[in-house]
Structure 1
């Protein structure tokens, strides 16, 4: 299982990625979580990306691709992964293809949701977490910047993966359970259409 989850910030990619990782026994690779852990540890990488993340800017392609490349090389990702937050640009997508080589992606799932719903989710998440528990990038001002970056840099990935026959779009405003069921049904259809030899590498 080699899956990418696409969608704007706040669309629910993390929630679905964690569920899928547990169900298919592969790691959930969230670039946001990886980078935030680096910031918390005050590593060299963390210091480099901290200000960009707080401002809602995207980390440069070379840096984030290097981070993902190192993570995919770890033993637990040998049998698959769920990528959440990467790739975010066409350049990153091409870099990922180079890393994977002959190992093709299983699918690319895009969660579709409008801006009004996204802002409502971010505000609700901030209220539930309380001021002490809110992430530095969880606020409406930063979300607007992140959405602008998403529209400019990430949305073109839809056409990129559609051209490769991998893209599957889902209504991200549906319930968590409904989205999960739709993804499961799609993955089941993919497995059913593959020869048994190809499924062994999932």
Structure 2
């Protein structure tokens, strides 16, 4: 599995990523986490990225491609899920060139589609643990102690841009960047869109797609859906 996860800010990419990692043995590669790790380690790429970020600038595409490419190469023999990059059509084309050279091109792009009013409520309820990137939501994924990270006991914070006015601007910019991206992957016939108001509505759609596309069995080898039953019959006949 070589998967890219797309969706509006607050669409629940982190939640879906966690479920896929747990249930299908997928390694998640998140651009934001990679940047933080490289900056903390003081790598060459991390130092360059930090300089741009200190001035409020985007990290250049070539730096991000190198960063992502190196990480994907380390996970070449594993299932992986990419989150947070690419964000533009130019980044997507550059990433494809890099992946094609290593023989591990994308084979599925999942777009999460959630109503904007639902996303707005989510970001109003969202709290984060900055060092780790862990995200909590008071509505459906609250911390055990209000305002405190479950793992470290450190304080949680709100993102500066988690307010209605800034959210609407972010959403407009996101749509402008993402629409060409979705068209690009749709032409390659690797794009699917999963719709819903909650993560629990969306995840079964993702699970069914992974089972059907990659011929895998659901978590713990439990047959839950008609799709899985058919796949299990085929697998059984092939092994006889």
Q: Same fold (TM over 0.5)?
A: yes
Report what 1:187 is aligned to. 210
- Counterpart residue number, 1:26: 26
Aligned residues: 187
Name structure 1 gaps, 5 residues minimum.
Answer: 193-202
DSSP 3-state at the match of 2:118: helix
Which has the bigger relative contact order, CA under 8 A and spacing at least 6? Answer: 1
Q: Is the 8 A contact 1:26 1:79 kept in 2?
A: yes
Segments of 5+ residues of structure 2 without an aligned counterpart are 128-136, 139-145, 149-154, 216-240
- Please give the TM-score of this superposition, normalised by the length of structure 1: 0.78
Cα distance in 1 for residues equivalent to 2:167 and 2:60: 18
Larger fraction in helix: 1
The residue that corresponds to 1:2 in the other structure is 2
Deviation at 1:97? 1.2
| C-alpha distance in 1 between matches for 2:55 and 2:201 | 36
- After superposition, the Cα gap between the structure-2 partners of 1:99 and 1:22, relative to the gap in structure 1 and judged at 3 Å, is farther
Counterparts of 1:81-100 in structure 2 under 5 Å? 81-100=80-99
Q: Which residue of 2 aligns with 1:46?
A: 50
Mapping of residues 1-202 of structure 1, within 5 Å? 1-38=1-38, 43-44=46-47, 45-50=49-54, 52=56, 59-74=59-74, 76-101=75-100, 102-126=103-127, 128=138, 130=147, 132-140=155-163, 141-173=165-197, 175-192=198-215
Task: Please report the RMSD computed on the Cα atoms of aligned residues, expressed in angstroms.
Answer: 2.8
Cα offsets for 1:10-66 (capped at 9, x unmatched): 1011111122123222310111222344566685223422554xxxx7544223222
CA 1:35–1:50 in structure 2 vs 1: closer, same or farther (change >3 Å)?
Answer: farther
Query: What is the TM-score normalised by the length of structure 2?
Result: 0.67
Larger radius of gyration: 2
Q: Does the 8 Å CA contact 2:3/2:82 hold for their aligned counterparts?
A: yes
Greater CA deviation, 181-190 or 118-127?
118-127
For 1:159 and 1:105, how far apart are their aligned partners in 2?
Answer: 15
Distance in 1 (CA, whole Å) between partners of 2:55 and 2:121 is: 25
